[in-house]
Structure 1
Amino acid sequence: MNQEMDVSTRKVILTMLKTKGSLTVSDMAKQLGITEMAVRRHLNTLERDGLIEATLVRQAMGRPTNLYSLTGLADELFPKKYHHLTLDLLGELVSEAGEEQVERLFERRKERLISRYGEQMEGKPLADRVKTLAEIQNANGYMVDWNAAEDGSYVINEHNCPISQVANAYNHACQCELMMFKSLLKADVERTECLVKGGIKCSYVIHNEKN
């Protein structure tokens, strides 16, 4: 019970810093109705986790004091609705220029990603290219695992899709990802399951290297 209360209090502190900006220990203690010692205990945990940072500021009277504020890492804890803006903008583009223009945008994004990551694949055997691609997708939020099958093929599983809302509306995004995998891996790649089409993950089977 105490642990749950501690977590709840830390969430309240993060919300206060988000809505009110930088605060001192005294400010937080007054608003929370707890002692400054208790506030400092929570701040120590949040600082250790990289969610807040302290800045020493001088005052007109008395000793300098610490002002606490959120880090960029903490900002990611709060809801983001970027996909709404993206979908609105793509919808406007469809109205103005047609769906073909949106598909061209996805194609250009695919080519840019291939150019960005291609060097990391150069000179590597297929197994290492699969591993590298899994690491790239993991870093981009796709929650990836991969494995080698007994028949010599490989499987990449993506358990999360950061662009699922966009891909639901514009299926060409999924097609571009598949083509990107084929280009980076220089192999035959088959998508056997898709989150957007009701699967529990996006699953890709890499059959063999292209000649």
Structure 2
Amino acid sequence: MTQEFDMSTRRVVLTMLKTKGPLAVSEIAKQLGITEMAVRRHLNTLERDGLIESKLVRQAMGRPTNLYSLTESADELFPKNYYNLTLDLLGELVEEAGEAKVQLLFERRKEKMIDRYEEQMQGKELGDRVKALAEIQNANGYMVNWSADEDGTFVINEHNCPISQVANQYNHACHCELMMFETLLGADVKRTECLVKGGLKCSYSIQAK
């Protein structure tokens, strides 16, 4: 119960800093109705986790005080509707230039990602390339795990799709991801399950050519 309360209080602190801007310990304590010592404990945890940062600010009167504000990492905790903007823009592009132009955009994105990551694959065995690709996708928010079967087949499972809203409407995004995997891995890759098509995950079966 105490741990749940602590996490709830930290969420409130983060929301306060998001909506009210940089705040001093005394201001946070007053608004929460708890002691400054308790506030400092929460702030220490949030600062350790890289979610807030402090800056010493000189006052017109009295000693300088620390003001706490959110880091860029904390900003990612709050809801974003980027996909709505993306879908609106892609919809406008379809009306102006046709579906083929949107597919070309996905193709160009695929090529840029291949250029960005192919150096990490060079000189590696297939298993090491699969591991490197899983790490890349994890860093991009796909919540990936991978495994190797006894027959030499590798499996990559993506449990989250950051672009699922876009891929639901523009399936070419999924096709480009598959092609990117094949190019980076230099292997035969088959998608055996897909989040966009109702699966519990996106799953890829990988075999050496």
Q: TM-score, normalised by structure 1?
A: 0.96
The code of the aligned residue for 2:162 comes to: P
Report the counterpart of residue 173 of structure 2 in structure 1: 173
SS across alignment from 2:22: coil
**Count of aligned pairs between the two proteins:** 209
Letter in 2 for 1:132: A
Secondary structure of the residue aligned to 2:196 is helix
Aligned residue for 1:189? Answer: 189
Q: 1:119 Cα deviation (Å)?
A: 1.1
Q: In the TM superposition, what is the alpha-carbon distance from 1:128 to its structure 2 partner? A: 1.2
Cα displacement (A) at 1:90 = 0.4
The superposition leaves residues 115-168 of structure 1 with CA deviations (integer Å, 9 ceiling, x where unpaired) of: 111111111111111111111111111111111111111111111111100000
- Alignment partner of 1:120 is 2:120: yes
Counterpart residue number, 1:71: 71
| 1:171 partner amino acid | N
In the aligned structure 2, how far is the partner of 1:112 from the partner of 1:7?
A: 40
The answer for the alignment partner of 2:5 in structure 1 is: 5
Partner of 1:23: 23
**Residue by residue, what CA displacement relative to the aligned partner does 1:15-74 show, whole Å, maximum 9, x if unpaired?**
110000001111112212222222222212211222111100111211111101111111
Q: Which residue of 1 aligns with 2:35?
A: 35
- Return the offset for 1:3: 2.5
- 2:131 is aligned to 131
Partner Cα distance (1:154, 1:88) in 2: 37
Deviation at 1:5, TM superposition (A): 2.1
1:2 shift after superposition: 2.7
Paired residue type of 2:83 = H
Partner of 2:50: 50
TM-score by length of structure 2 reads 0.96
AA in 1 matched with 2:101? Q
The aligned residue for residue 156 of structure 2 is 156
Q: For residue 98 of structure 1, what is the aligned residue in structure 2?
A: 98
Amino acid of the residue matched to residue 12 of structure 1?
Answer: V
How far 1:9 sits from its partner (Å)?
Answer: 1.6
CA distance in 1, matches of 2:116, 2:181: 13
Equivalent-residue separation in structure 2 for 1:72 and 1:19 (angstroms) = 15
Q: Distance in 1 between matches of 2:7 and 2:151?
A: 48
Give structure 1 stretches of 5+ with no counterpart: none
One-letter amino acid matched to 2:6: D
